[in-house]
């Protein structure tokens, strides 16, 4: 139930940002781009395939094996929503920082 509530509150927050962008710019194009960027960023944080990403960084370019999937299912007994790994945080920070920067430059102009 918590995942749905988190997704719902994120989408409501995105709707508020879209209204602010619309009022500030009066541009449907910029509002639609804000929606697309927001949904992509929300999806990247809240809806990742943890069975895929919850592996060594060097294994990300390979498909999930049956053994890895079985190990992931066995760990589901004690769920933790967000796992903090340094390499993942660096990649997320770079990708999301660049996306927000490009979005801001688009909306501000």
The domains of the chain are located at 1-47+79-108
Residue 41: its pLDDT value, please? 83
Residue 12: its pLDDT value, please? 94
Full pLDDT tens readout for the chain, 109 residues: 455 677 788 889 999 999 999 999 999 999 999 999 889 888 777 666 556 666 777 887 888 888 887 877 776 655 555 566 677 778 888 888 898 899 889 888 8
Place of tokens 């933790």: 80
Q: Does pTM surpass 0.75? A: no
Tell me, what DSSP letter sits at residue 39? H
Contact status, residue 42 vs residue 14, Cβ threshold 8 Å: yes
Reading the block at residue 11, the tokens are 């989408």
């Amino acid at each position: 139930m918590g995942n749905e509530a988190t997704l719902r509150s994120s989408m409501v927050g995105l709707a508020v940002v879209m209204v602010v962008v619309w009022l500030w710019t009066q541009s449907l194009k910029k509002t639609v781009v804000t929606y697309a960027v927001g949904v992509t960023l929300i999806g990247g944080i809240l809806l990742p395939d943890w069975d895929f990403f919850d592996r060594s960084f060097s294994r990300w370019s390979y498909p999930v094996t049956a053994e890895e999937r079985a190990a992931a299912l066995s760990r589901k007994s004690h769920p933790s929503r967000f796992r903090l790994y340094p390499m993942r945080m660096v990649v997320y920070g770079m990708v999301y920082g660049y996306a927000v920067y490009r979005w801001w430059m688009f909306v501000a102009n």
